[in-house]
Amino acid sequence: MQTKNKINQLFAEQQETGRKLLSLYFCAGCPTLDGTADVIQTLERRGIDMIEVGIPFSDPLADGPVIQSAGTVALKNGMTLAKLFAQLRSIKQDVHIPLVMMGYLNVIMHYGIEAFCKSCVESGVSGMIIPDLPFTDYLNDVKPIADKYDLRVIMMITPETSEERIRFIDDHTDGFIYMVSSASTTGAQKSFDDSKQAYFKHINGMGLRNPRMIGFGISNRQTLESAQQNAAGAIIGSKFVTLLNESGGNADVAMDQLYDALSK
């Protein structure tokens, strides 16, 4: 059965053309409560292929200081999951690229897994990344509901993930695999060293079924090209969040600055 899921469609097109993808992350509700719709529409207009919409949480374990701070600001601004879904529903008909919700299990469980998946579909969301979701819970509790709603649950791998585990994830997920560039938290880096390059090349040589996107630390030309050479594309989070905050929420200004940084 041919899926209508936008994530699968994007990567099917990427594999045909070989064009490298660029995905951006931002935290909904930061720097302004009502900026979500404008940020998403601006990023699509500026050529971004996929967007990760961060759900603010008080204790984001995998995130570095930039994204932690963004979550704190968003919560102080009054952002909630219900408000976020309402904002996404308002632009559902105008957004054509995949949206992926990124958030921690506590918030999603409080909302309710089935209710969350239903709201994702109603809001034009194609998938989710839940960094602290145990794989057993994913298989038993989350995947059956996500499959029912044709949503993709994206799993992360790091340099510490065993080859056996990577193949198990590849066999039981769909959409793409999120390759974390290092075992540390998120945050911009100036370059990827030889060990990271070797990790990228090793995973690229495994012949996995799912395409991969590389994230964590991408902030300039060197890190972007290194990621794109060894995967379907790159994910940028902290660098864009910083620029968006500095611009006061003006996504066009932030994109100008990001593209400038990625050219150097």
Each residue's pLDDT tens digit, 154-174: 999 999 999 999 999 999 999
Between CA 229 and CA 231 the distance in angstroms is 6
Instruction: Please tell me the predicted confidence (pLDDT) of residue 1.
Output: 41
Q: Residue 191's pLDDT is what?
A: 64
Say what the pLDDT of residue 187 is. 46
Phi/psi class of residue 175: alpha, beta or left (left: φ > 0; alpha: ψ in -120 to 50)?
left
Instruction: Decide if 186 contacts 129 (C-beta within 8 A).
Output: no
Percent of the chain with pLDDT over 90: 83
The amino acid at residue 93 is Q
* Prediction pTM value: 0.94
Please give the structure tokens belonging to residue 132.
């602290």
Q: What is the structure's pLDDT at 194?
A: 84
User: Pick the catalytic residue: 16, 38, 44, 63?
Assistant: 63
239 DSSP β-pair partners: none
What average pLDDT score do residues 5-16 get?
A: 97
Task: Please compute, for residue 211, the number of CA atoms within 13 A of its CA located in the half-sphere on the CB side.
Answer: 23
Count of residues in the chain: 264
When the pLDDT of each residue in the chain is averaged and rounded to a whole number, the result is 92
- Whether 63 is catalytic: yes
Which residue type, as a one-letter code, is found at position 170? D
> Catalytic: 34?
no
CA dihedral sign of residues 101, 262, 201, 10: positive
In the block, tokens 């050219």 appear at 263
Instruction: Report the distance separating Cα 49 and Cα 97, nearest Å.
Output: 6
Q: Is the pLDDT of residue 2 over 80?
A: no
Catalytic residue among 44, 49, 52, 170: 52
pLDDT at 190 over 80: no
What are the tokens at 222? 């060197």
Tally the C-alpha atoms within 13 A of residue 6's C-alpha that lie toward its C-beta: 17
pLDDT at 63 over 80: no
The stretch 85-106 carries a mean pLDDT of: 97
Q: 220: which 2 tokens?
A: 């300039």
Cβ burial of 248 (10 Å; 0-12, 13-18, 19+) is exposed
